[in-house]
Amino acid sequence: MTAQLLDGKAAAAAILAEVAAGVAALLAAGGRRPHLAAVLVGDDPASQTYVRMKRRNAEEVGIESSDHRLPASATTDEVKELVRGLNAESRVSAILVQMPLPPQVDAGAVIECVDPPKDVDGFHPYNAGRLALGDPAVLPCTPAGILELLDRNQIPVDGRRAVVVGRSNIVGKPLALLLLNRHATVTVCHSHTRDLPALCREAEILVAAVGKTFYIGPDWVRPGATVIDVGVNRLDGRLVGDVDPAVAQVAGWLTPNPGGVGPMTRAMLVRNTLLAAERRS
**Which residues of this chain interact with ligand GUN, rule CB under 6 A?**
96-99, 121, 141-142, 170, 265
Rounded to an integer, what distance in angstroms lies between the CA atom of residue 253 and that of residue 6? 6
Count of CB atoms situated within 10 Å of the CB of 102: 18
Q: Is 7 a catalytic residue?
A: no
Q: Is 121 a catalytic residue?
A: yes
Among 7, 9, 80, 98, the active-site one is 98
Minimum CB separation of residue 222 from ligand GUN in Å reads 28
Minimum CB separation of residue 273 from ligand GUN in Å reads 13
Minimum CB separation of residue 141 from ligand GUN in Å reads 5
Instruction: For residue 25, give every residue at least 6 positions away whose Cβ sits within 8 Å of its Cβ, in sequence order, or none.
Output: none
Minimum CB separation of residue 121 from ligand GUN in Å reads 5
Candidates 80, 162, 87, 75; CA nearest to 118 is 87
- State which residue, 65 or 142, has the beta carbon closest to ligand GUN: 142
- State which residue, 11 or 250, has the beta carbon closest to ligand GUN: 11
Helix or strand run (H / E) with residue 94: strand 94-97
Among 4, 7, 9, 54, the active-site one is 54
Q: Is 98 a catalytic residue?
A: yes
Residue of minimal Cβ distance to ligand GUN: 99
- State which residue, 119 or 204, has the beta carbon closest to ligand GUN: 119
Among 119, 121, 229, 242, the active-site one is 121
Candidates 92, 8, 27, 16; CA nearest to 57 is 16
Rounded to an integer, what distance in angstroms lies between the CA atom of residue 100 and that of residue 77? 17
User: Cα 89 to chain center, whole Å?
Assistant: 25
The catalytic residue positions are 54, 98, 121
